[in-house]
Amino acid sequence: MANVVSDKDGTMALVTINRPGKHNAISLEALSELHAAIDDAASDERIRVITITGAGGKAFAAGSDLSEVMDRDLEKALEPIVQGLADKLERTPKPTIAAIDGICMGGGLEVALGCDLRIATPNSKFATPEGKLGIIPGGGATARLPRIVGRAWGMEMLLMGETIDGRKALEIGLVTRLYESEDLLLEAKKMAEHLSSFAPFVPRTMKAMVNFGMEASLSGALMLEKYAQGALVQTKDKEEGISAFLEKRTPDFKGE
């Protein structure tokens, strides 16, 4: 049985971590399959949005497979294992969504942190429990979590290692939308369709600007934003978007 299942539905690629018997714990083999699935979706011109979820309805991903972490030495620890996947999700030009239902902890949370958007169910569970195992996160949580939820809640989650539910995750900005389990993927699909209705340059440029802006000085980010806007105002899609708005019709974007 494949550790990862990838389906393409219209403009959305749905990548499912498929180890429900282990709460979708991410093994090295599963990680390799996730990389391949993301690469495939990113290179497919028909795909505009990539969504990641977990099989079984009980977990997005419980973390890294601890049977493999037990054997990890310093050399292996320095490899960008989960961190590399989160980086890929963050850097791919296409918007990425983490659709979370159930346990989302450790390395699983770090995969979700690499996504642009995170939606969840109220009963989902989030934590960075690595401290209880005598280690710290190694997939990006110490860097990304405080940037997403702020330093105070980032430190709370990282140092205390306690579990929060979906409602608290929504409150602190870890996720932005809550849906019941039976609606989660349907709503992810609606979000993907909404994003796909924009001119193709828009979501990828917006994503690039935010990622650069979070790492750059304010003045540098603002300057690059103006150049990026300057590039987009010269596109045919800009002309189509404004014309369609003034004519009260649906725009027909071509990616030109």
Residue-wise DSSP of 42-58: HH-TT--EEEEEETTSS
182 is catalytic: no
Residue-wise DSSP of 73-87: -HHHHTS-SHHHHHH
Number of H helices, E strands in the chain: 12, 10
45 is catalytic: no
The pair of three-digit structure tokens given for residue 100, joined into one six-digit string: 């979370």
Cβ distance 225 to 231 under 8 Å?
A: no
State the catalytic residue, choosing from 29, 45, 130, 225.
130
Q: What does the alpha-carbon distance between residue 180 and residue 123 come to, in Å, rounded to a whole number?
A: 9
- Evaluate the CA torsion angle 152, 157, 162, 167 in order and state its sign: positive
Classify 29 in phi/psi space as left (phi over 0), alpha (psi -120 to 50) or beta: alpha
Nearby residues of 16 by Cβ (< 8 Å), 6 or more positions away? 4, 5, 6, 7, 52, 53, 54, 55
Q: Which residue has the tokens 């369609």?
A: 244
Cβ distance 152 to 146 under 8 Å?
A: no
State the catalytic residue, choosing from 90, 110, 225, 247.
110
The pair of three-digit structure tokens given for residue 8, joined into one six-digit string: 């393409």
Q: Which residues are catalytic?
A: 110, 130
